């Protein structure tokens, strides 16, 4: 029996898209649906029964001081990491792109140096930062002491620890953002700079604002989304360096999720934290696309 052309095309589409669709359902959509359902229960890992609790887990998260601290710390961390890592990544990329024209070997050396934090494991880098920021033996405080300046406790001061982790997060993100911006800079046609110079934009600053920055719109949007995602799911540095302390001063949503789910085995409460994490990430992505995408010039 011969099938019609439309049926053959439908079977072909099913054959091509079917495996990927099943993988998305099995590993993304179904687990997210299960987590969403568990967030309305008091289920604990290993328990044979559970009760429906409605929004009790969400109320507990936002009514407790520990839960509010995790949410607030995450938002502060994201608010610091996104602009500074994107800004410094762009600054380094522009500088190295210009250096490539007159010192390509040195440019490659600096690219490697800036990309090393991305290539290294975050746990190893966190241990290294612990040694660097040690209150008495660390090179940072020793340099401050030699200069006659105060030597703060970077990882044990409640008012300072979150900003220290944010600084490390910026340091970790610059190299990756630099690579993305370098790819965007390499794709800008040289004719646009020539045309801008003919129109009177001969200086480096005017060429950047009239050509480079508008043409980097799609790259900037992508960098901001990736940076926001990585900033929201910060975990390794917190788990390795502070474990959310001191007194939950560096606690974040993902670390709270890990603690409640895999230390205290509160699967229902951890699922609620997961859904709040997804909600924040979704809202931020929508804001970025609505605000930034309007100014993106695709070519």
- Convert the pLDDT of each residue in 19-70 to its tens digit: 888 888 888 889 889 999 999 999 998 888 889 998 999 999 999 999 999 9
For residue 191, give Cα distances in angstroms to 195, 196, 200, 201: 6, 9, 14, 13
Residues in the chain, overall count: 299
Q: Tell me the two tokens of residue 17.
A: 């898209």
Query: Which residues are registered as beta bridge partners of 200?
Result: none
Q: Tell me the two tokens of residue 126.
A: 């966190």
- pLDDT score at 294: 62
Task: Please indicate, yes or no, whether the overall pTM of this predicted structure exceeds 0.85.
Answer: yes
Residues 77-97: tens digit of each pLDDT: 999 999 999 999 999 999 998
- pLDDT score at 177: 95
Q: What is the 3-state secondary structure (H, E, C) of the chain?
A: CCCCHHHHHHHHHHHHHHHHHHHHHHHHHHHHHHHHHHCCECCCCCCCCCCECCCHHHHHHHHCHHHHHHHHHHHHHHHHHHHHHHHHHHHHHHHHHHHHHHCHHHHHHHHHHHHHHHHCCHHHHHHHHHHHCCCCCCHHHHHHHHCCCCCCCCCCCCCCHHHHHHHHHHHHHHHHHHHHHHHHHHCCCHHHHHHHHHCCCCCHHHHHHHHHHHHCHHHHHHHHHHHHHHHHCCCHHHHHHHCCCCCCCCCCHHHHHHHHHHHCCCHHHHHHHHHHHHHHHHHHHHHHHHHHHHHCCCC
Walk me through the domains of the chain, giving residue ranges and CATH numbers: 64-295 (1.10.3720.10)
- pLDDT score at 259: 94
Q: What is the pLDDT along the chain (299 residues), one digit of tens a residue?
A: 566 667 767 777 777 787 888 888 888 889 889 999 999 999 998 888 889 998 999 999 999 999 999 999 999 999 999 999 999 999 999 999 888 878 888 888 888 888 888 888 888 888 899 999 998 888 999 999 999 888 999 999 999 999 999 999 999 999 999 999 999 998 888 888 778 777 776 677 888 888 888 888 888 888 988 999 899 989 989 999 999 988 899 999 999 999 999 999 999 999 999 999 999 988 887 887 777 666 655 55
């Amino acid at each position: 029996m011969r099938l019609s052309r439309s049926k053959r095309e439908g079977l072909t589409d099913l054959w091509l898209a079917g495996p990927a669709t099943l993988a998305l359902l099995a590993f993304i959509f179904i687990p997210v649906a299960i987590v969403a359902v568990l967030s309305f229960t008091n289920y604990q890992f290993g328990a044979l029964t559970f009760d429906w609790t409605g929004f009790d887990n969400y109320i507990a998260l936002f009514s407790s001081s520990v839960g509010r601290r995790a949410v607030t710390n995450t938002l502060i961390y994201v608010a610091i990491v996104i602009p500074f890592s994107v800004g410094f990544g762009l600054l380094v990329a522009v500088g190295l792109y210009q250096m490539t024209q007159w010192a390509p070997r040195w440019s490659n050396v600096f690219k490697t140096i800036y990309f090393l934090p991305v290539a290294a494991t975050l746990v190893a880098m966190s241990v290294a930062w612990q040694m660097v920021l040690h209150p008495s033996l660390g090179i940072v405080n020793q340099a401050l002491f030699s200069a006659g300046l105060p030597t703060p406790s970077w990882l044990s001061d409640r008012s300072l620890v979150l900003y220290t982790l944010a600084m490390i997060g910026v340091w970790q993100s610059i190299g990756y953002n630099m690579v993305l911006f370098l790819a965007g800079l390499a794709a800008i046609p040289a004719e646009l700079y020539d045309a801008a110079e003919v129109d009177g934009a001969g200086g480096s600053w005017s060429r950047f604002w009239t050509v480079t920055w508008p043409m980097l719109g799609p790259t900037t949007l992508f960098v901001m989304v990736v940076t926001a995602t990585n900033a929201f799911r910060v975990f390794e540095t917190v788990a390795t360096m502070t474990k959310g302390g001191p007194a939950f001063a560096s606690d974040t949503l993902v670390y709270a999720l890990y603690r409640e789910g895999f230390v205290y085995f509160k699967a229902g409460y951890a699922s609620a934290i997961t859904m709040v994490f997804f909600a924040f990430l979704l809202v931020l992505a929508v804001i970025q696309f609505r605000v930034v995408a309007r100014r993106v010039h695709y070519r």
